Structures are given as C-alpha cells and as structure tokens.
Structure 1
C-alpha cells in the first residue's frame, strides 16, 4: 500500500454572517463546497499558501488573522493497476479576513465557483467535512488546535 501525505492550508472567512466557500470539483465530476485553500508547495510557508490559494480560488486577497487549528484526516482509496493508497491529509486552518480583490471563479483549477453563503444555510449545502471542521474550530477555538484530544503531543 502506498502512503500519501498532503499538507494544505485553508481559510475560514466570515463577513456579515456569511462564509466564503469555493466549489471543489472531483475527478469524477462531483461538486461540493469547501473552504478556500489547498496544497502547500515544497518550501512554502502555510500562511503564504492560504493567501495564494484563496486568491486563486476566489479572487480575493486575504490576511490570516488567527491560526484556528489542524484538521487531520486519513482514508484509503484504490489507485490504478489494482493498488491502494493510504492517504493522510493534514489541513492547517486559519481564520482570515478579506483585504482586497473582487469575487471571481477560478479558471482551470480544482474549483469552479466561489460564493458567500449565509452561515445558517451552510448545513444544507453539499460540502466536504472540512467546512464543518473549520467552522467548529472557529466556534470552539480549542487551546491545542485539535477538535478532539490528541493521543499524544
């Protein structure tokens, strides 16, 4: 089984009771809302990643204002030629504010749309689990940055 690690940074941007989301498009065409953000380039600082990715996916300039925490996910999935992967996603979640730019949709990327959604309507959206994790981190602000107690620190 092949091990895969992906480190990414995401922004929770709330303004006037609305959450900024980008609509992610999977390889098989499934569409779900997610937090703006994405994978870190080698040697890139996570703050720089979230600023770059938010601009790519939404058109906005954002400023990270607080580190909310880390969301860690692990899952297996089939790969080509009958092999399997053990995927571990480490997602660094920041609270951020929009400082400039204009809302626009990403072209030729992993998302196809960006929009503001009223917070009370988010539970009804087709969304990835990261949206709920990000909102929970924002709401609970756990001192250690974890939504559940870590096994060891």
Structure 2
C-alpha cells in the first residue's frame, strides 16, 4: 500500500468571541468550514506556512502568539485506479492574532471564502473535525499539546 505524509499548519484566530474560518469543499463538493491554514511546501518552516496560508485564504496578516499543539490523523483512501493510500496528516495548530490586512476571499485556491463565526454557533456549522480539535486545544491548552477529540 502506498503511504502519503502531509504536514500542515493552521491558526486559531479568535476576536470578539468570533472564530475565523475558511470554507472549502468535501470530496462530494459540499461546502465545509475549516481553520485557515494548509500544507507546508518543501523546505518551508511551519511557522512561515501558517503566516502564508492565512494571508492567502483570508487576506489578513497574523501574529502567531503561541503553539497550541499538534494533531495527527491517519486514514485510508482510494487513489486513482483503485489503489489504496495510507494517509498520515500531521497538523500543527497555532494561536494567532490579526494585525493587519482586510478580510477577503481566496481566488483559485482550496477555499472560496473566509468569515468570522460566533464561537457559540461553530458547533452548528458543517465543519471538518480539525475545527473541534483546534478549539479544544485553544480552550484546554494541554501541556502535552494534544487532546482526545473524535474526528
């Protein structure tokens, strides 16, 4: 079975009890909310990745105020021609504070819009599991840098 590793960096940005999210699409094309962030490019530092991805997906300049934790996910998918792929995602979750820029939507990327959502309403959104993991890290701030949240 083919193996694929993806390392990515994301940021939890909370302002006035609202969470900044970006909207992407699942495998069936349905919209779903996620944290702004994404995959590292070869040779890129995760810190630089999260700053770049936030700017690309939201238009904001962000100051990273801390590393909340690391989340690892593993699952199997089918590649073209029916071959199985053992996928392993390592996701670094930072806390960020917006310092400049203006909210705008990404053009030609993996997301199509960005928006602030009241924290109390996030649970009702169609969202990826990473959002729940990241909010748990943000709220609990575990010394281990990991939380037990089902995805």
Q: Normalising to structure 1: TM-score of the pair?
A: 0.94
The Cα of 1:146 is off from its aligned counterpart by 1.3
SS in 2 for 1:13: strand
The Cα of 1:27 is off from its aligned counterpart by 4.9
The Cα of 1:13 is off from its aligned counterpart by 0.1
Structure 2: gaps spanning 5 or more residues: none
Bigger shift: residues 25-34 or 138-147: 25-34
Q: Hey, which bits of structure 1, 4+ residues long, moved more than 6 A?
A: none
Please report the RMSD computed on the Cα atoms of aligned residues, expressed in angstroms.
Answer: 0.9
Structure 1: gaps spanning 5 or more residues: 149-153
CA distance in 1, matches of 2:55, 2:119: 22
**Contact (CA 8 Å) 1:21, 1:117: kept in 2 or not?**
yes
- The residue that corresponds to 1:121 in the other structure is 121
* CA deviation map 1:38-75 (0-9, x unaligned): 00011111110000000000000011100000011010
1:1-153 matches, within 5 Å, as 1-148=1-148
The Cα of 1:144 is off from its aligned counterpart by 1.6
Count, aligned residues: 148
CA distance in 2, matches of 1:13, 1:70: 16
